[in-house]
Chain A
């Protein structure tokens, strides 16, 4: 090194193995303990990078809020367990359409923060050389994935909080008051966001260039939102479309969130007149496993040849 660093390196006159490597303040590189210890700073780094990408902030972070504002403004009617109602005072309980949309947008946020965010982010990292450069450092892939998962959770929680706040404060959506609903919210949120993050990692291997990543990922995510009761209420969709949507996680995330934000008797609007949370949990868990296995099989630090 130049003169400025001479003081710290002057003792290293050769490449003798005794270069002070016995004292590892950071732990042994490559060990699991080191990998986990490095995760918090990696998460901070990832979150900072996320919020410095203008397109990510708009199309992933703010998108559910913008769509909530848009749909709540256009469709401002009320909803009863029998469906849309023009007359709110007909004896049954009603909620505003904005509450229905809030549930859908919170669910869509889980998909965007996981699948859309990571699929595009990691595909770009692969093609702009960042992953390869990371592969040349002693940083463990465990740290890398904890960083990504942490980023997804930090931004997902902030996104849900923002979406719910805007829904309640600006559009009069109602919040559940019982602990049971919030417990449902918690498990749907954690299971959904984890699965969504893993599916994002898996999907990141599909685009063939960094530039095409958005073009590959966004249509998939958008189509799912249209058939899964996010933009169009699921009870207004043909049953065949609802059955198709139920093969994918988003419809179950949206249904789970509706079970949280809507009163119980609104289950009559769902297929089978039930929230069917048990089946939802199974489908979400199955997709989580699919995401995990596909990530393990497809992820590479670089396009390493055979």
Chain B
């Protein structure tokens, strides 16, 4: 899908967070967050472990109370909303180490049971097929592999036809092929109009799936925007890299990469291992984390 918003949105945002704080004693797990997720958008929250991502998501899901700030999810305050509100939500929570949540039931039994709770549920067999578990539909969940169990989690998250889907580190432990299949599934959900709030450690996943990303570090939003905008103009200056005559790797950042390559061409002939690229989301992200770590150390010193 293309960037969002595609049109001036007639529907109100799916998620609005303003001045959100969550404190545990003196520790500020979430320290003043503001962001909005438009209806139909896929939004990724990135950040190192302990940055406040999961705390934020759990507040949005209604599992955790906030210290202060305002939060609206599908027009309701998750701290007050009733069970009916949850009919429009899908949640794929972080996987627990035990991994035996619904062990003694088969894939189809568990999905059929959960489908009953929703007023407008998807067809059980279609969902099983969408997550690629048709051959395992009659298998007890306990005997599935870790990746297959995670797909059951995803299937349970979408069985109720949610308008807003929370995906908390959904592909941890997936092999590359399973991850790609999962991305296809998420894209098709997105193109059906489902709003998706994703947290992930995989920057490539965020870059592929998300319309916009927010980077949370130390409970604060350090960067927020479209994937191709993160870090601002300066951070996105292209990098030209090549191997010199001496065999050493060289790289140089420049606003005019073509001119640099032309100059290299006249100076060195055809440069070996020539590459021109913009910094990846991962590089930008790591820069942000490094900056923050340095700043915190300086503050402490």
> Contact residues of A with B, CB < 8 Å?
1-5, 8-10, 12-17, 19-21, 24-31, 38, 41-42, 45, 48-49, 52-53, 128-130, 132-133, 135-140, 143, 210, 302, 304-306
Q: Is the interface of A mostly helix, strand, loop or mixed?
A: loop
Residues B47-89 near A (CB distance < 8 A): 61-65, 82-87, 89
Are B11's CB and A16's CB within 8 A?
A: yes
Assembled-state Cα–Cα distance A56/B117 (Å): 27
CB pairs A–B below 8 angstroms (15 shown): A1-B130, A1-B189, A2-B185, A12-B193, A17-B11, A20-B120, A26-B116, A29-B83, A29-B118, A45-B109, A129-B93, A133-B156, A135-B63, A137-B86, A138-B117
Are A15's CB and B91's CB within 8 A?
A: no
Are B84's CB and A1's CB within 8 A?
A: no
Chain B residues within an 8 Å CB radius of A302: 63
Q: How far is the CB of A256 from chain B (nearest CB, A)?
A: 34
Seed contacts A14-B193, A27-B119; 17 additional CB < 8 Å A-B pairs: A1-B158, A1-B192, A2-B129, A2-B188, A5-B122, A5-B126, A24-B119, A29-B87, A29-B117, A30-B87, A38-B117, A42-B113, A49-B104, A53-B104, A138-B87, A138-B118, A140-B83
Chain B residues within an 8 Å CB radius of A49: 104-105
Chain B residues within an 8 Å CB radius of A304: 63-65
Residue of A137, A140, A210 near B114 (CB, 8 A) is A137
The verdict on A45 contacting B113 (CB below 8 Å), with A5-B127, A140-B83 known, is yes
Q: How many chain B residues touch A (Cβ–Cβ < 8 Å)?
A: 55
Chain A residues within an 8 Å CB radius of B63: 132, 135-136, 302, 304
Residue of A15, A20, A30, A132 near B84 (CB, 8 A) is A30
Pick the most buried of B61, B101, B105, B117: most chain A CB atoms within 10 A of its CB. Answer: B117
Chain A residues within an 8 Å CB radius of B116: 26, 38, 41
Pick the most buried of A12, A133, A135: most chain B CB atoms within 10 A of its CB. Answer: A133
Are B93's CB and A28's CB within 8 A?
A: no
Chain B residues within an 8 Å CB radius of A305: 24, 64-65
The verdict on A24 contacting B120 (CB below 8 Å), with A30-B84, A136-B93 known, is yes
Check: B39 CB closer than 8 A to any chain A CB.
yes
Check: B96 CB closer than 8 A to any chain A CB.
yes
Q: Mark B166-188, 1 if CB is under 8 A from A, else 0.
A: 00000000000000000011001
Assembled-state Cα–Cα distance A302/B93 (Å): 13
Pick the most buried of A15, A17, A136, A306: most chain B CB atoms within 10 A of its CB. Answer: A15
Chain A residues within an 8 Å CB radius of B199: none
> Contact residues of B with A, CB < 8 Å?
10-11, 14, 24, 39-40, 61-65, 82-87, 89, 91, 93, 96, 98, 100-102, 104-105, 109, 113-114, 116-120, 122-123, 126-127, 129-130, 140, 156, 158, 160-161, 163, 184-185, 188-189, 192-195
Assembled-state Cα–Cα distance A15/B130 (Å): 21
Q: How far is the CB of B300 from chain A (nearest CB, A)?
A: 27
Are B130's CB and A19's CB within 8 A?
A: no
Assembled-state Cα–Cα distance A55/B5 (Å): 54
Are A26's CB and B82's CB within 8 A?
A: no
Are A26's CB and B118's CB within 8 A?
A: yes
The verdict on A12 contacting B102 (CB below 8 Å), with A26-B116, A136-B61 known, is no
Assembled-state Cα–Cα distance A15/B129 (Å): 24
Q: How far is the CB of A44 from chain B (nearest CB, A)?
A: 9
Are B83's CB and A128's CB within 8 A?
A: no
Closest-by-CB residue of B relative to A52 is B104
